[in-house]
Amino acid sequence: MLYPIAMKQQKPYLSTAEAAKLLDVSPQRVRDLIKAGRLEAFKVGRDWAVSRKSVEEFERAKPWELTSKNSSST
């Protein structure tokens, strides 16, 4: 079966640096999120392979964008 080029280029796992770039955070923050169980990953040598799917789901949720203007104030 032939897949579109874009699909072939999307790796199922990312390095912490790649995940950090997608989430616009530091690689250390990505490692903290992995340790907290917020991102799925497994160890590869000294680094982590982070699930692209979990990064995309985390990014969609945008937990860091919860601000007072999003909450009701009375």
User: Per-residue confidence at 66, pLDDT binned at 50, 70, 90?
Assistant: low
- Averaged pLDDT of the chain: 82
Total domains, the chain:
1
Closest CA relative to residue 14, chosen from 53, 57, 46, 63: 53
> How far from each other are the two terminal CA atoms of the chain, in whole angstroms?
57
Query: Does 6 reside within a domain?
Result: no
Query: pTM for this one?
Result: 0.71
Which residues constitute the domain of residue 44? 12-61
Looking at residues 45-61, what average pLDDT do you find? 93
Query: Does 49 reside within a domain?
Result: yes
